[in-house]
Amino acid sequence: MRTLDDLDVKGRRVLVRADLNVPLDGETITDDGRIRASVPTITSLVERGAKVVVCAHLGRPKGQVKPEFSLRPVARRLGELLGQDVAFASDVVGDAARATVDTLQDGQVALLENLRYEPGEESKDEAERRAFAERLAGLADLYVGDGFGAVHRKHASVYDVPRLLPHAAGGLVEAEVAVLRRLTEDTERPYVVVLGGAKVSDKLGVIANLLTKVDRLLIGGGMAYTFLKAQGHEVGNSLLQEDQIDQVRGFLDEAGRRGVELVLPVDVLAATGFAADAAYDVVDATAIPADREGLDIGPKTRELFATKLADAKTVFWNGPMGVFEFDAFSGGTRAVAEALIRSDAFTVVGGGDSAAAVRRLGLPEDGFSHISTGGGASLEYLEGKTLPGLAALED
């Protein structure tokens, strides 16, 4: 892939596809991690005299203009982080966007309104998507792909626009790809992967692929209960995907055949219901009461997982160990994160809820080797899939 150094940007309009999909409470940004991650690439272009036009999506407005998904609050925060005003266009490719871009001077920055207000951005119709891409590309002379969290989507701003303009990867995408290559090529061993989150169905492909590559696989979070059920244990009211039990049995058998150590919880916090103040007991993971649901891994499992991480040389972690949004059920996620911080391994936090948990729990981000901005993109890369946004940048 070409990089920023390969582009002559001075005095030219550079369209930067960033990932600014941050959580909002009204107009208050509750986690600005993705905005902060976009700043170095934008700053580099500003310092080199580019006219920077940033585009991004927020939420899922599904081709409709919905005020609650406006990027206006993001423009304000981006301006604070850049130390300069960021002009905001109230549409994506209309008159406001054109007027905003036309007023930019060298070294100035504008942000377009939410890409997903336009049906063409996510359209499965190639012609509709291409038509929107042509209008978007018409706002710029060059393209920089820096929205790693969206590179697994075949969307106009990610896939089609770089085919219409001279293009390069931004610093964020370049760094993310370098980390993922380290996880898939000549990986230092022992290689341990920790997977959590709600649904095993979200991670079928990556589990299948990782079983051919890792030394140890630790399973927590809601997905662990389908594994426990596949072993024949009672899981009570815990999150369970009955339709995945046969698939999971296959994973257990495959791990055994390949000599991969697959580690499941040995105890859990079994709560009376799904609530922050729910009463709970610590119970054996193989004997969850029928009227209880597991909301976090227990203290013995936290110690077990920490032990299994202690000798690792490479660790990838994706997915919380419990309902970390509830303080009472955040201890398992914290324990895994702190084990990674203590580790001398190359440690990668795979974006999404894992990255959000690190920040919510107040853990030092520099305690990890890398925190990804794209959970879904990271998983699909590790699954061995071709990511459309990366393929377009490599052309």
216-219: strand order across its sheet: 261-263, 216-219, 191-195, 314-318, 346-349, 370-371
Residues in the chain: 395
Question: What is the model's pLDDT at position 353?
Answer: 87
Q: Is the pLDDT of residue 378 over 80?
A: yes
Confidence band, pLDDT 50/70/90 cuts, at residue 253: very high
User: Is 354 within any annotated ligand binding site?
Assistant: yes
Q: How many alpha carbons fall within 13 Å on the CB side of residue 176?
A: 33
**Confidence category of residue 199, pLDDT binned at 50, 70, 90:** confident
171-182: average pLDDT: 95
- Establish whether 308 is an annotated binding residue: no
Q: How many of the other CB atoms lie within 10 Å of CB of 246?
A: 9
How far apart (Å, rounded) are the C-alpha atoms in residues 151 and 54?
Answer: 16
Q: Is 48 annotated as a binding residue?
A: no
| Residue 135: its H or E element | helix 126-137
Would you state the pLDDT for residue 189? 97
pLDDT for position 144: 98
Residues 301-346 pLDDT 10s: 999 999 999 999 999 999 999 999 999 999 999 999 999 999 999 9
> Is 59 annotated as ligand-binding?
yes
Task: Name the average pLDDT for the chain.
Answer: 96
How open is the CA angle 364-365-368, to the nearest 5 degrees? Answer: 105
The answer to whether 153 is annotated as binding is yes
User: For residue 261, is pLDDT > 80?
Assistant: yes
Report the pLDDT value the prediction gives residue 202, as an integer from 0 to 100.
Answer: 86
Q: What pLDDT is attached to residue 173?
A: 97
At residue 352 the predicted structure's pLDDT band, cuts being 50, 70 and 90, is: confident
- Asked if pLDDT for residue 17 goes beyond 90, the answer is yes
Lowest mean pLDDT, pick from 10-19, 70-79, 200-209 = 200-209
Hey, which residues are catalytic here? 34, 199, 352, 376
Percent of the chain past pLDDT 90, that is, above it, reads 93
Whether the pLDDT of residue 375 is over 90: the answer is no
pLDDT beyond 80 at 280: yes
Q: Is 21 annotated as a binding residue?
A: yes
The predicted pLDDT at position 301 comes to 98
pLDDT value of position 9: 98
More confident site: 202 or 221: 221
Which of 52-61, 193-202, 252-261 is the least confident region? 193-202
Q: What is the pLDDT of residue 395?
A: 83
57 is in an annotated binding site: yes
**325 is annotated as contributing to ligand binding:** yes
> 114-170, pLDDT tens digit by residue?
999 999 999 999 999 999 999 999 999 999 999 999 999 999 999 999 999 999 999
Cα–Cα dist 211/215, whole Å: 8
Count H helices and E strands in the chain, helices first.
14, 17
Residue 370 has pLDDT above 80, yes or no: yes
351 known member of a binding site: yes
Identify which of 321, 327, 360 has the alpha carbon closest to the alpha carbon of residue 339.
321
What is the pLDDT averaged over residues 78-90? 98
What are the chain's domains? 4-172 (3.40.50.1260), 179-383 (3.40.50.1260)
Q: Is 98 among the annotated ligand-binding positions?
A: no
Predicted confidence at residue 351, as pLDDT, reads: 72
Cα–Cα distance, 101 to 108 (Å, whole number): 10
Q: Which helix (H) or strand (E) holds 29?
A: strand 28-29
